[in-house]
Amino acid sequence: MTNAPETPNQSDPTTRWFWIFAVGHLLLWTAVPFFTQANGPLDNVEMLNWGHEWQWGYPKHPPLPAWAAEAATYLPGGPVWSTYLLSQVCIVGCFWAAWRLGRETLSPSLAIAAVVVLEGSVYYNCTTPEFNNNIMAKVCWAMFILFAYYGIARNRIVDWGAAGVFLAAAILSKYDAALLLAAMLLFSFLHPRARACWRTPGPYVLTGVSLLLAAPHLWWLVTNDFTTLRYITSRSSKSPTWLSHLEHPFEFLGAQLGAIAVTLILATILLGWRWRIKSVDSATQFTRTYLACMVLGPLGLALAYSLITGAHLRSMWGASMFTFLGVLLFAWLEVRSDPALIRRTIYASAIAGFIFAAGLGMRNLVGDGLVTAPLRVDYPGEQLASQVEEIWNDRSEQPLENLGGDWWLAANINVYHPARPSISAEQDHDLPAWTEQDAWRTEGGIIVWETATADEDYETQIKAIYPHAEILQPLEFAWTKNQQRPPLRVGMAVVQPLTPIRTAELPTPAQHEH
C-alpha cells in the first residue's frame, strides 16, 4: 500500500504539529547546555576563536562553521549560548528538509513520524550542543539532498541553483561532502530519469554556482599548502597491517549502527520486527531509489574507501549521513499506518529525546565528580578572562590584542574577554598567520599556561624572547562544580607594548587536542 504524499498547506494540522515539535526541540536542546554547562565545550570555543579572525580557511577545516559561530555572537547575551542556539537551528533545518522530502512519498502524519524518530539518534540529540563542522555540514547535506531532488523532479533552475548553494556550503563546512557529491554523481549517471537531466541546464547551473562560491576557499587551500587536507590525512592514518582493511570499516559501520540504534528501535513501532519491502508505483519508486542512494551511498563509499586503503574513519564522520533515515525506512518498508501507532511512535520518540536531554544535563551537573580529568564544560573560563582583563587594564589603557601560551586557556580568554583578543599565530604555529609579525612589539599581550603541564624552564624561555616581560605569581581558580578538585593554577606573563622581540619561537607549554 502506498501512502500518498500531500503538499503542506495552512489548513493541514500536521504542519502545525511539525513546527511545535521543531521549536520544542530547539528550545529544549538550547536550554540544557545553557543551564548546565558553566563553560563552552571544546569545539564551540574553537569555532569562536577561528571565526573571530574571518579567514578563508583554518588549520583543520573549511571556514563556514567558524563564520557562522562568530556571526551568532552578535546576538545579545554572550557568545557561547549563541552557539548552542546555532546548533539547534542547524538540526531543525535537517528536520525541515526530511519533513519536506518525506511529504513527497509519505502521508503527512508518517512524514512527521519519519522526522521525530531522529530524536533517538545521538547525531540529533546529545552531540548537538557541541557546535562544530559536523553540525553545519549536516544541515548543508540535508538541504542539498532536498533541492537536488526538487531539481530532478521539477526541473526548475531555481532549485538547481539552491542545490549549488548548499553543495558549496557543504564543501565549505567539511570535506566529507566529497562522499555526498560522489553518491549524487553515481545516481545521476545510473538512473535514467536523473541521467536525462544532463541534457538540461540544471546540473551545469548547480556546478557553476557551487564552484563560484567555493573558489575562494579552494584558492586559500592551494596557497596554504593544503593544510586542511594534511590534517585529514593525519586523522585517518593508514595502518600497515592487513587486518586494518577489515577492522577499520567494520569498526566504522558498528559505530554508525550504534548511533542510529534507538531510531531503528523507535521505527519498529510502525514497521514491526519483520521488515518487508512494499510495492509502489513508478513515481514513488524514483523517490525512494533517490533516498536509498543519498542515505546509503555515502556510507557505502566511506566503507569502501576504508576497506581498500585500511584508513581509520572517525565515527563522527558519519554524522551527516542519516537525516533521511526515517523517510527511507517508511518509504521502502511496509508500514502499519494505524493512527494510534503513528501517535505512539511520535510520543515514544519525544520521550526518548527528553531522556537523552536529561542524561546530558545530569552528566554536566555531576559528571565532573566521576572522572579523573576535569570536563571542558567545567573550566573556569569566564573567571580567567575576567582576571586577565583586570590585570591588563591595570597596566595599559589600550585594549588587549594578543594572547599566547596554552591554547585552551588562551581560547577561553578569547571567548569570554570583552575585547576578544586574538591568539597569536606567531606563537601558536598550528595557526595560519592572521596577526602581524611584529604585533607583540607594537601591541603587547598576555601569555598564559597551566603550571602543572608547563616545562620547568618555561618562564626562562619567555624571558629569552621577551626580556621585559612581567612574570606574575601563578593564579588559582576553583573549578565551577567540583570544589574538592585541586584548583587550576595558571601562570601568566604580561608583555608590554614596544618590548624588544627576538626571532626565537616560544613553545606551547602543553599540547592540547583542539
Tens digit of each residue's pLDDT (9 = 90 or more) over 259-281? 999 999 999 999 998 999 988 88
Q: How far is Cα 43 from Cα 364, in angstroms, rounded to an integer? A: 16
Q: Measured in Å, how far apart are the chain's first and last C-alpha atoms?
A: 51
Q: What is the pLDDT of residue 505?
A: 57
304-347 pLDDT per residue, tens:
999 998 888 889 999 999 999 999 999 999 998 889 999 999 99
pTM greater than the 0.85 cutoff: yes
163-173 pLDDT per residue, tens:
999 999 999 99
Q: How far is Cα 488 from Cα 476, in angstroms, rounded to an integer? A: 5
Mean pLDDT rounded to a whole number for the chain: 90
Higher pLDDT, 361 or 481: 361
Q: What are the structural domain ranges in the chain?
A: 25-364, 379-495
Q: How far is Cα 309 from Cα 317, in angstroms, rounded to an integer? A: 16
Give the type of residue at 506: L
Burial class (CB in 10 A: 0-12, 13-18, 19+), 321: buried
Kindly report the number of other CB atoms within 10 A of residue 35's CB atom.
12
Q: How far is Cα 143 from Cα 211, in angstroms, rounded to an integer? A: 17
DSSP state of 236: T
- Residue entry with cell 574507501: 305
Per-residue exposure over 471-481, b if at least 16 CB sit within 10 Å of its own CB, e if not:
beeebeeebbb
Q: What is the pLDDT of residue 8?
A: 53
On the question of pLDDT at 187 being above 70, the answer is yes
CA proximity to 130, closest of 63, 75, 70, 69: 69
- What residues are paired with 81 via a beta bridge? none
On the question of pLDDT at 512 being above 60, the answer is no
212-230 pLDDT per residue, tens:
999 999 999 998 888 888 8
Could you tell me what percent of the chain has a pLDDT over 90?
71
Q: What is the pLDDT of residue 245?
A: 87
Q: How far is Cα 493 from Cα 465, in angstroms, rounded to an integer? A: 12
